[in-house]
Structure 1
Amino acid sequence: MSQKSGTHFTEKQGHYLAFIYTYAHMFGRPPAETDMQRHFRVSPPSVHQMIVTLERNGFIRRQPGVPRSIEILVPPESLPILEWLGIKTSKSLTRSPLSLRHTPSLGYLRIPAATPPRW
């Protein structure tokens, strides 16, 4: 199933898609539903329903019975949260001079790597 032409996702769907994209680039594998449950602080059925909805709308693809098999079908540059964070999709996140740091209230943010103070 491929992304439906002209279909747009909601803000909440965009957050889930951005989380899946960012998680996969940070950890080298897609997130499990429990990872999304912890991040968004929602119930397991809520996460599962969102995943089913994203798949039904053609934004992701999964392999039945295979854990962590979520594949994003949306172009990364169309994810609004990544645009807001200033993440350049043409470069690998791991090779970027900026790193992603988790903050409890805001999720993952790009923060310049700290430089040691000069004494």
Structure 2
Amino acid sequence: MNQLLDQKTTEKSAPFTAKQGQYLAFIWAYSQINGRAPAESDFQRYFKVTAPSVHQMLKTLDHMGLIQKQPGVARSIQLLITPQQLPILGVEQPVIISETGH
């Protein structure tokens, strides 16, 4: 019984990983800007990952009930969570540390 309660508490506090959150945030941002859902190739370009990686992530998000896709229909991704539940879409930037002369 306690395991079930602990599992539900964990799910509510962290419904998705940071990486999954970035994919969800990308879907929302892309859809807002372009008026349609992103294609898998759009994910590849943005996240600099392979096609199988994108496909697996979208299958995972669909299985988790965070998105919905229509099989065989291009750009059919729909978010099943509200924008308020999404993290801010981040852009990974390298950190440059400048050394000061002695």
The structure richer in strand per residue is 1
Q: Which runs of 4+ in 1 moved over 6 A?
A: none
2:82 corresponds to which of 75, 82, 100: 75
* Equivalent residue, structure 2, for 1:111: none
In structure 2, distance between residues paired with 1:22 and 1:15: 10
Q: Deviations along 1:82-104, whole A, 9 cap, x unmatched?
A: 6xx8xxxxxxxxxxxxxxxxx78
What's the CA shift string for 1:32-71, capped at 9, x where partnerless? 0000000000000000000000000000000111000000
**Structure 1 residues without counterparts, runs of 5 or longer:** 86-102, 107-119
Partner of 1:13: 20
> Aligned equivalents of 1:50 and 1:104: distance in 2?
19
* Paired position in structure 2 for 1:36: 43
- Between the aligned partners of 1:52 and 1:33, the Cα distance in structure 2 is 12
How many pairs were matched up?
83
User: In structure 2, which of residues 63, 66, 84 is the aligned counterpart of residue 56 of structure 1?
Assistant: 63
Structure 2 residues without counterparts, runs of 5 or longer = 1-10, 95-102
1:10 positional shift: 0.4
Q: Give the Cα–Cα distance (whole angstroms) in 2 for the partners of residues 104 and 38 of structure 1.
A: 13
Moved more, 7-16 or 50-59: 7-16
Q: Letter of the 2:41 partner, please give it.
A: T
